[in-house]
């Protein structure tokens, strides 16, 4: 098992679900460690532990040694995986964000970690953004994930989107959870925290949730900028046009736009 994050913060409010496996699933660079922070402050979990993505999930779940950690990864949807989570009684939380912001955050990560993405070495930041939108080299180059079939951001998101339709999954938007410091709103953040606390069977007051919200922004192992609309200052006009062509309908389907006039 690979332990990739450790938090010992706050009080324990969730006792009822302490025996359940908690899965923190996310689209990469969509706020997975922001969600880890929330869960750790609400529960007795010590931090996050890497959940295997390349073996049958029913076998992976059987091999989890204890319930001391949150199991975290970027797990694309499959009926078999959903069935395994459901049958094991897992608490599954799924976080996603505006695909334009996700692309920019992912490009920042790729550009700053060349040793992890050697096939992208020598490519300018601007080219990484374009690649993530339209050709999928970054997705297909990671052998530790089953993403060989991914060719653009639209296909990437659609590999995860069915999680939004599973009634046993608690889905959260990054834009709602990040709060005013990240360009969202404190009201939306508080409501997102209430949703998560209810899903995890937590006995926590609104005042305690407000206290938790004040500890969230920037307190993550992979935190970069954490702003919801930074793509507006970075994307070129050509990249905006390309995004509309490749994934314009995706933005509408996810509720981030009403049309292509943005």
The CA radius of gyration of the chain, in Å to the nearest whole number, is 18
Residue 223 is predicted with a pLDDT of 45
Categorize the per-residue pLDDT at 164 as very low, low, confident or very high, splitting at 50, 70 and 90.
Answer: very high
Local confidence band at 110 (pLDDT 50, 70, 90 cut-offs): confident
Q: Average pLDDT in the 163-184 region? A: 94
Find the mean pLDDT for residues 89-96.
97
- Residue 7: what pLDDT? 45
Q: What is the pLDDT of residues 25-67, one digit of tens each?
A: 999 999 999 999 999 999 989 899 999 989 999 999 999 988 8
Residue 183: is it exposed, middle or buried by C-beta count within 10 angstroms (0-12/13-18/19+)? middle
Q: What's the pLDDT at 13?
A: 62
Domains of the chain and any CATH numbers: 3-97+160-213 (3.40.50.300), 99-159+226-253 (no CATH)
- Report the sign of the C-alpha dihedral through residues 134, 31, 2, 66, in that order: negative
Least reliable range by pLDDT among 35-49, 85-99, 157-171, 211-225:
211-225
Mean pLDDT of 114-121: 74
Instruction: Return the pLDDT at 160.
Output: 97
146, pLDDT greater than 90: no
Give me the pLDDT at residue 14, please: 61
Mean pLDDT of the region 230-246 = 97
């Amino acid at each position: 098992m690979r332990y990739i994050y450790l938090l010992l913060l706050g009080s324990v409010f969730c006792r009822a679900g302490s025996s359940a496996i908690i899965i923190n699933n996310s689209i990469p660079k969509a706020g997975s460690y922001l969600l880890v922070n929330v869960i750790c402050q609400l529960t007795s979990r010590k931090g996050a532990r890497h959940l295997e993505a390349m073996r049958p999930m029913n076998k992976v779940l059987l091999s989890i040694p204890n319930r001391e950690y949150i199991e975290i990864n970027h797990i694309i949807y499959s009926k078999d995986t959903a069935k395994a989570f459901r049958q094991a009684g897992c608490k599954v939380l799924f976080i996603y964000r505006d695909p334009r912001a996700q692309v920019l955050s992912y490009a920042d990560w790729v550009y700053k970690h060349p040793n992890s993405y050697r096939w992208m070495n020598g490519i300018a930041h601007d080219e990484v953004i374009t690649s993530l939108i339209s050709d999928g080299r970054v997705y297909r180059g990671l052998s530790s994930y089953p993403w060989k079939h991914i060719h653009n951001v639209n296909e990437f998101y659609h590999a995860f989107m069915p999680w939004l339709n599973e009634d046993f999954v608690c889905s959260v938007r990054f834009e709602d959870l990040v709060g005013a410091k990240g360009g969202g709103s404190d009201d939306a953040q508080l409501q997102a925290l209430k949703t998560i606390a209810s899903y995890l069977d937590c006995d926590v007051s609104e005042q305690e949730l407000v206290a938790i919200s004040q500890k969230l922004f920037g307190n993550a192992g992979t935190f970069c900028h954490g702003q919801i609309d930074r793509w507006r200052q970075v994307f070129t006009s050509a990249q905006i046009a390309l995004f509309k062509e490749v994934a314009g309908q995706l933005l509408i389907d996810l509720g981030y736009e009403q049309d292509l006039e943005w």
